[in-house]
Structure 1
Amino acid sequence: MTARDSGFVINYTGDTSNFNEDLSNSLKAAESSNDYLKFSMSSLSCTANGTDGNLNIDVGATYLTTAQQEAYVNAVVTRALVSIITPGMTDFQKEKAIHTWVIKTVSYDYTLANHSAYAALVAPHKTACQGYSLLMYKMLRQAGITTRIVSGTLNGEAHAWNKVNIGGNWYNVDATNDDGANTTRFYNVTDSVLRQHGFAW
């Protein structure tokens, strides 16, 4: 799926009475291990046929980006990190450099037509909150910083942002909302601060 395969087949040889639970658990495990993949998927479908102990599961998936577009994202992210990360930087300094680079490079897509990191990195460099958090995730991970993507709401509207773990502590980072005013209002804030501003998850 990381290679943007549109379809593949899984052969299931277990007890079919456990099939739904096993499939659900497998998909959840895959999602929880890779937020970038999870939030880059547009749809996922599964159909099964066969007999007890020998099921063929046809999995179909669509994505926000192609494999070629992801290769471009990876190349741009690598170049950007080389230019903004210097030897001896702490994780906090790396995170700040990435946050600053993202909000200076990307603009919010008010049409809500673009949701990918790729859209953020090609002209006119516009994406929605999902794209901001995907790009932050990709850059932070490549810089060696543990991060997750949070899917929730802001004032009742769907919204996505990041959490980072530095020094054993989790912080919230919302590059989307920091971008408009070019600030750090929602940079490394606690859950309680987000809730005070209408975030929910």
Structure 2
Amino acid sequence: MVQILTMSIPVYAYEVFSNWNDAENYIYENMINREDKIKFVFKGDKDNFVLNLKSSLKEAYSQDDYLERSWTQIKPEAYNINEGIETTLNIKYLCSKEQENYIDKELMNITDNIINDDMSDFDKVKAINNYIINRYEYDYDLKSVSVYSSLTTSKAVCQGYSMTAYKMFNNAGIENRIVIGTASGISHSWNIVKIDEKWYQIDITNNDSENINKYFLVNDQFLIDNDYIWDRNMYPSCDERYSKIN
């Protein structure tokens, strides 16, 4: 909850914004850099400030599926001052900036080692699916929730699988999303990938635990038939199963 207090204090080295689009971009860039205190002054229209702040914050971290799942807590503070509304976002992340740098370097090295330009998009997706299955084992203690802990312990929950895949697919030039929903009534995340202008479902977590190809490039209906639920309005439709799996 955001409560606006009234204070009279000078502003030192704060970014000042008069519209929410600029504030949103500023929040996004700072979250990418894992800043734990994001400060700015808003001097635009103060009507509905709280609602607009919440909306801009959500728009900022929703620009990237990985970023959206990289924070654990956001506590806003807001004060009325002479120049406008001084705002501070206090944020806790899954990983520090140093850990994210390690993740980026490690996953880029891995991707470079298993992917080459002569491979088709299908072959790239298959290689990444197989690599993650061989690298990780499911963490039944449910402690390894970040990509950093997944890489350093080789144990992961679904979030570690799907976020690792998201980064590696991006490195390989494969458009993809992280899907949030449930499987058999339990919170779950997985990916969708785009191959030859069509979207396909891929759940590497359950490929690891069940069968390497069971949830590989399947359609929406297959997941529905296997007790998956997600907000289908939030993601592209996956209408077909990939027909060239071998």
Paired amino acid for 2:219? T
- Count of aligned pairs: 200
Q: Which position in structure 2 is the counterpart of 1:20?
A: 50
Deviation for aligned residue 1:87 = 2.2
Aligned AA for 2:171? Q
Give me the TM-score of the superposition, normalised by structure 1: 0.94
After the TM superposition, which segments of 4 or more aligned residues of structure 1 sit over 6 Å from their partners? Answer: none
Give TM-score scaled by structure 2 length.
Answer: 0.77
* Whole-angstrom distance in 2 between the partners of 1:182 and 1:118: 25
C-alpha RMSD of the superposition: 1.5
Distance in 2 of aligned mates of 1:172 and 1:70? 26
Which residue of structure 1 lines up, in the alignment, with residue 132 of structure 2? 102
Distance 2:95 2:169 in 1: 20
Identify the structure with bigger relative contact order (alpha carbons < 8 Å, sequence gap 6+): 1
CA contact (8 A) 1:103 1:182 kept: no
SS at 2:77 equivalent: strand
Identity %: 37
Instruction: Give CA deviations for 1:34-84 in whole Å, capped at 9, x if unaligned.
Output: 111111111112121115871111101111111111111111111111111
Map 1:85-164 → 2, pairs under 5 A: 85-123=115-153, 125-164=154-193
Q: Tell me, in whole angstroms, the C-alpha distance in 1 between the residues paired with 2:181 and 2:83.
A: 39
Displacement of 1:137 after TM fit? 0.4
Structure 1 residues 164-173 or 188-197, which shifts more? 164-173
What is the DSSP-based 3-state SS (H/G/I as helix, E as strand, rest coil) of the residue aligned with 1:185? Answer: coil
Q: Please state whether the residue corresponding to 2:48 is helix, strand or coil.
A: helix
Would you say 1:29 and 2:59 are equivalent positions? Answer: yes
Between Structure 1 and Structure 2, the one with more helix by share is 1
Unpaired stretches in structure 2, ≥5 consecutive residues: 1-30, 231-246
Partner of 1:176: 205
Offset at residue 142 of structure 1 (A): 1.2
Equivalent residue number for residue 42 of structure 1: 72
